[in-house]
Amino acid sequence: MKTKIVPKIRAFNRWYTDQIGLLDQHLLNSDWSLAEARLIYEIQAAQPVQASQLISILHVDKGYLSRLLKKLEKERIITRRKSPGDARAFLLSLTERGMREFAALNEASDKQIGQMLEPLNEAQRGELVGHMEAVNHLLNGPKGEVTIRTQLLPGDLGLVAYLHGLIYTRENEFGLGFEGYVLKGLGEFVLGYDPVKDRVWVCEADGRMVGFLLGMRREEGVAQLRYFILLPEYRGAGLGKRLMALFMEWLRASGYRRAFLWTTHEQETATALYLRHGFRLTEEKETAGFGKMLAERRYDWSEDAADL
């Protein structure tokens, strides 16, 4: 790396952090630090949300996040409630005071940016935004268009196992036993893979796998949904809904009249999607096979809902 570049980037970073007051004890003349203000914003954007999801969004240490959440709860900015689906899981939301604080922070931030842009004309503002987008593109890479293919290729299932091990450890603190469980199931699938009776949906963007879903025949007229996963940065844009719609279309087009899946009580976002497509909880059991105590849950779907 050219050493002359590094001091210039560091000088810009020092200027910008001073420009928007990131080093101030409190952000935007509020009662909140930068970390606290960002946390308030993310909870508002995703509420109700679990702490594990915030770790993935903010890329912060679990212990540090826990301390921030305790302070916000003590200040009555956030509230936690037991999940309606499982008494052991908690969902975080902003209180009425929290919503007022968010609105004040949001307004102050808009005002601050407006004041920064005030000396610039329209052409200069457009140029500024273009430079910012260029920085994001160069450092983070483009978030390209997602394509979905249904042809299973060598290496796909290895990546699926890798994504499950990585994401479930990071977001849910699953142990190695979970990755072993995934590898065993994928091995079972590939040994009996029949492209006529089975189907994969491989989501790709910028040459990498960003999501996956699998449907496999279990017995005559019955299929199983497995290994539904999306990278965190590709959630919330409708890709999960699109995959579920494709799965349901495949079920009916292939003549399957029943389907089922297994998940855990912690996968609330995915569970809500399953329920919207007619899946119903039919079985629950305790397990410690993934490195922690969990409730494994089976959800079933039938072309004739009366069968459930």
pLDDT of residue 155: 93
Which residues lie closer than 8 Å to 247 by C-beta, 6 or more apart?
A: 199, 201, 213, 215, 225
pLDDT of residue 23: 55
pLDDT of residue 194: 94
**pLDDT by residue (tens digit) across 129-176?**
767 766 765 666 555 689 999 999 999 999 999 999 989 988 888 888
Angle between helices 51-58 and 156-172 (to 10 degrees): 110
**What structural domains does the chain harbor?**
5-140 (1.10.10.10), 147-307 (3.40.630.30)
Distance of CA 160 to the CA centre of its chain: 16
Q: Report the percent of the chain where pLDDT is more than 70.
A: 87
More confident of the two residues 1 and 249: 249
Q: How confident is the model at residue 21 (pLDDT cuts 50, 70, 90)?
A: low
Tell whether the model's pLDDT for residue 27 goes beyond 70: no
Least confident piece of the model among 57-61, 207-211, 260-264, 292-296: 57-61
CA dihedral sign, ordered 195, 201, 207, 210: negative
**pLDDT by residue (tens digit) across 218-276?**
999 999 999 999 998 888 788 999 999 999 999 999 999 999 999 999 888 899 999 99
Q: What is the mean pLDDT of residues 47-52?
A: 80
Residue 270 in contact with residue 262, Cβ under 8 Å? Answer: no
Average pLDDT, whole number, for the chain? 85
**pLDDT by residue (tens digit) across 269-308?**
899 999 999 999 999 999 888 888 999 999 999 988 656 5
Q: What is the mean pLDDT of residues 74-86?
A: 81
